[in-house]
Structure 1
Amino acid sequence: MSQPTSTTDRAASPRRIAALALPALVVLAAEPLYVLVDTAVVGHLGRVPLAAVAVGGTVMTLTVWLGTVVAYGTTGRAARRFGAGDRAAAVAEGVQASWLALGVGVLVVIGMQFGGGALAGALAGGGEVGVAAAEWLRMAAFGAPGLLLAAAGNGWLRGVQDTRRPLAFVVGPNLLSAVLCPVLVYPAGLGLIGSAVANVIAQTLSGALFAAALVAERVALRPRPRVIRQQLVLSRDLLIRGVAFQASFLSATAVAARFGAAAVGAHQIAVQLWFFAALVLDALAIAAQALVGAALGADDGVGARALARRIGRLGAVCGAAFALLAAAGAGVVPTWFSSDSAVREQALVAWPWFVAMLPLAGVVFALDGVLIGAGDIRYLRNLTVVGALGGFLPAIWLAYAFDLGLGGIWAGLMLFIVIRLVALLLRLRSGAWAVTGAVRPESRAGVAA
């Protein structure tokens, strides 16, 4: 048996993984931490404002997922170029991704001004929750261009293994917004809208900082429509995957809303904690994307496979640790977000499912990062669609049909995680994902300059 190369040793080193994962952890945690602060601040305004943020925030999560598509697609492409020794080409991927992000962000703003009210009303089932959610959503949408620019910036900077600047560009604006949110909601008297304004300020400032970083690289900044179109083609599988996720979580919120204001408020608390856990555990996935992409770009398939195994094991350990923390906080954490006893009681219905799935999710998120870094997006797309259509969505609507409450909704999420875990382990074992080269062969036309 041949000995691992030095590149393999570096790629799979725990120190190297930690050097990328820990700063990424802070960056990933900053946005959901702000959302948790926002939920806590708004939650004390009453049931209706909390339910409105639950509905409007779920809609805005669509934009966050668009940002994930941009960031993850850019990281993989930039990492392969960087691993092949061409930093300029890696940064150029970020330039075109940023133009794409800005264009999509403007479309989101326009779309939410005209259609956000109808969408929020449909999800909330009408009434005062729908009206409040629509007002919040129209204001919050103005943060979309900055949010997506920040996602593109995170993508290319992770690809070139620069973790320091994203740390400052994300954490600083979110800390500012966390301070502004309670001030705007209460002393300034803006109420629910104040939380949306604080959100817009953070996202716009963050996007501007990432744009300035591109300018500082002194590369050509003009948009290349042909390359942008090619990036759209390369990202279509991630986009379809994101749509499957969003259809599932939008359905979950819609069903929770039909169980009453207390149920949808509790679902908002639980699902935001779930998103927070997912993004924190995704720190390993971010490290995997950058390191796997670079290893494969440098023709080091042995290193990529060693890294995948190590990342999977670390994901399981981190997920289990998170589960222990969540279990210990079951009687306390829901009280941070609502003083309404009915909301807290409903949150405890979802809690056992939330705790039980975290160790499994740690492995799933880590291996997602491995395959994204390898460019094996088509497999991830198919897996997510099958898991959503065959597991999560049927469970959600069965919960509504048989009046199973939040427990039925969260059982569906558990099924979704189990389906993905089994399929990812099978893919990892096959080794078919570990294709070497500066550009994955099926993507060559999409990244040509």
Structure 2
Amino acid sequence: MSRGDVGARSAQSRDILRLAIPAFLALVAEPLFLLADSAIIGHLGTAQLAGLGVASATLITAANIFVFLAYGTTSIVSRQIGAGSERGALGAGIDGTWLAVGLGAATSVVVALAAEPLCRAFGASHDAIGYAATYLRISALGIPAMLVALAATGVLRGLQDTRTPLVASVAGFSSNIGLNLLLVYGLGWGIAGSAWGTVIAQTGMAIGLVTVLVRHARRAGATLRPHPGRVLRAALTGIPLLVRTLALRAILLVTTWVAAGLGDVPLASHQVAATVWSFLAFALDALAIAAQALTGKALGAGDVEAARNATTTMVRWGIWVGAVLGLALLAVHSLLPSLFTTDPAVRGALSAALVVVALGQPLAGYVFVVDGVLIGAGDGRWLAGAMAATLVLYLPLAGWVHGTGDELLAQGAPRAVTVLWVVFTAFMAIRACFFWWRIRGDAWAVTGAAR
């Protein structure tokens, strides 16, 4: 290897770390919202924790089906930056932010009005549904802020800035914990206090991120006014990623539905295990964020070789980081449950589930990084088709667990939850196979300012 090649790889590694480290710290703040809620609510009772599991699954679905506001915007903005057009990049980002305002307002109304029917669809106990509906009805008020924060974060990542979202996330997470403790325990509002604390924190994050975005737009001379035609184009561009995300959320919701059918103890333990999985997923997704930004920029500049080299490096890092996270979780899997609940049955089931979560982390590292590469490349149509196919393949596996629920429960809640998580890990393996096949070819590596 020549000295020039070594220097290029060293610079590439620095770019990855420059984007990934702040992205990691910012991304883990989002599941920390839920971890904090789970820890605080878990000590109120098992029914409250089970209710939070149902409500949070619904709320995250309602918001994250629009994750294209962040991912798609990162790809579009980074391509424009690679092609040398900062004004065009920020114009696209402003359009995406206005789209987030409209989608957030509409989604908030729907979720608030349909809170109880949405929660009942999971088939949880009567007590759990009551708590879930209360949490969801209040939390729906924060959906517009969640979507605006997604869009603004996507723009900043496309501009190769992951530090500003980090500052916003740290501020939001810190205020969320303080507000939840005050409202849940200090004022005695229970699960409603947790919901209000999260809404306030999310709103503050959105305001801060939009303020920074407006400053960038004014410096570049980009207009801040919404343009209906461009906003519509932004919506149409996001449709493939919307389909991809809907299929992914369907898989996660089906898994929660299966857990709910097993009873409150398996559902409560699954809620915490899913939150831990999300925490680790967001940690691994830091490399995916770097992949989105660097892939889009390289392809926008017409440099396919740089995009492929970065992909190879980040995939290798993703697998190793996943292995390290898995080993760390294995070391504490029997200690973590006591942080979330005093129920010994939930603790036992959760401890068993966390072992499976830990063993699946290297696979998750590969999946998240390649997903980020393809999103950065703007390969949305293929991603939509692959995720839809994955959903079709996963449904029979989830159906089998649901159909054998009584038999699994007869062997104990830890056994039932373990089997559920083994099946969920199979979903990740299916996804990895699709990604391996796609990344081997060249169809995803399209160059230019727009795909």
TM-score band (shorter)?
Answer: over 0.9
Distance 1:7 1:226 in 2: 46
Q: Shift of the alpha carbon at 1:5?
A: 8.6
* Equivalent residue number for residue 412 of structure 2: none
Q: Which of 222, 234, 237 is the equivalent residue of 2:237? A: 234
Structure 1 residue 418 and structure 2 residue 418: aligned?
Answer: no
Structure 1 partner of 2:370: 367
Rate the CA distance shift 1:81–1:261 in 2: closer, same or farther, 3 A: same
Give the superposition deviation at 1:64.
3.5
Partner of residue 401, structure 2: 399
Q: 1:66-86 deviations in whole A, cap 9, x for unaligned?
A: 342210000000000001111
Task: State the distance in 1 between where 2:137 and 2:123 align.
Answer: 15
Aligned to 1:37: 36
Give the structure 2 partner of residue 439 of structure 1: 450
Greater CA drift, 410-419 or 319-328: 410-419
Name 2:439's counterpart in structure 1: 428
Q: Name the structure 2 match of 1:159.
A: 158
Distance 1:53 1:421, change over 3 A: same
Separation of aligned partners in 1, 2:5 and 2:32 = 38
Task: Give, in whole Å, the separation in 2 of the partners of 1:271 and 1:282.
Answer: 16
Alignment deviations for residues 222-249 of structure 1 (CA, whole Å, 9 cap, x no partner): 1111112212221111111111111111
2:107 is aligned to 108
Kindly report structure 1 stretches of 4+ aligned residues shifted beyond 4 Å: 3-8
Mapped contact 2:124–2:263 kept (Cα < 8 A): no
Aligned AA for 1:272?
T
Residue type of the alignment partner of 1:398: W
| Whole-Å separation in 2 of the counterparts to 1:14 and 1:214 | 27
SS at match of 2:445: coil
Structure 2 counterpart SS, 1:394: helix
Q: What is the DSSP-based 3-state SS (H/G/I as helix, E as strand, rest coil) of the residue aligned with 1:428?
A: helix
The answer to whether the aligner puts 1:288 opposite 2:311 as a matched pair is no
Deviation at 1:39, TM superposition (A): 0.3
Alpha-carbon distance between aligned partners in 1 of 2:265 and 2:259, rounded to the nearest angstrom:
9
1:6 deviates by 8.5
Q: Tell me whether 1:96 sits opposite 2:95 in the alignment.
A: yes
Whether the aligned pair in 1 keeps the contact of 2:180 and 2:197 (CA below 8 Å) is: yes
Contact persistence 2:172–2:204 (CA under 8 A): yes
Distance 1:88 1:27, change over 3 A: same
| Conservation of the 8 A alpha-carbon contact between 1:78 and 1:160 | yes
Within 2, Cα distance between the matches of 1:294 and 1:8? 19
SS in 2 for 1:196: helix
The DSSP-based 3-state class of the residue aligned with 1:383 is helix
Matches within 5 A, 1:30-429: 30-125=29-124, 127-217=126-216, 218=218, 219-391=222-394, 393-403=395-405, 404=408, 405-429=416-440
Checking the alignment, whether the CA contact within 8 Å between 2:104 and 2:147 is kept in structure 1 is yes
| 1:146–1:204 CA contact under 8 A, matched in 2 | yes
Distance in structure 1 (CA, Å) of the matches to 2:351 and 2:9: 44
Q: Which runs of 5+ in 1 are unaligned?
A: 441-449
RMSD: 1.9
How far apart in 1 are the matches of 2:268 and 2:243? 28
Q: Which amino acid letter does the alignment assign opposite residue 386 of structure 1?
A: A
SS in 2 for 1:161: coil
Equivalent AA in structure 1 for residue 437 of structure 2: L
Cα deviation for residue 193 of structure 1 reads: 0.4
**Unaligned regions of 5+ residues in structure 2, if any?**
409-415
Distance in 2 of aligned mates of 1:28 and 1:4 = 35
What code does the residue aligned with 1:156 have?
A: V
Name the CA distance, whole Å, in 2 between partners of 1:6 and 1:376.
28
CA contact (8 A) 1:11 1:304 kept: no
Overall identity of the aligned pairs, in %: 38
Residues 216 and 7 of structure 1, relative CA distance in 2, 3 Å threshold: farther
SS at match of 2:33: helix
Q: Which moved more, 1:60-69 or 1:245-254?
A: 60-69
Q: Does the Cα contact within 8 Å between 1:66 and 1:242 map onto a contact in 2?
A: yes
What displacement does 1:394 show?
Answer: 1.7
Q: Residues 123 and 78 (structure 1 numbering): CA distance in 2 closer, same or farther, change over 3 Å?
A: same
The 8 Å contact of residues 124 and 264 in structure 2, kept in 1 or not, is answered as no
State whether residues 125 and 264 of structure 2, in contact with CA within 8 Å, keep that contact through their aligned partners in structure 1: no
Q: Distance in 1 between matches of 2:270 and 2:230?
A: 41
Q: Does structure 2 retain, via aligned residues, the 8 Å contact 1:319–1:360?
A: yes
Task: Work out the CA distance in 2 between the residues paired with 1:381 and 1:209.
Answer: 32
CA distance in 2, matches of 1:112, 1:430: 41
User: Which residue identity is paired with 1:427?
Assistant: R
Structure 2 Cα separation of the partners of residues 226 and 201 of structure 1: 32
Q: Distance in 2 between matches of 1:4 and 1:39?
A: 51
> 1:351: how far off?
2.3
Shift of 1:299: 0.6
Shift of 1:4: 11
Shift of 1:259: 1.1
Distance 1:161 1:351 in 2: 34
In structure 1, distance between residues paired with 2:190 and 2:322: 36
- Normalized against structure 2, the TM-score is what? 0.94
* Counterpart amino acid of residue 278 in structure 1: A
8 Å contact kept, 2:23–2:163: no
Note the C-alpha offset of 1:283.
0.1
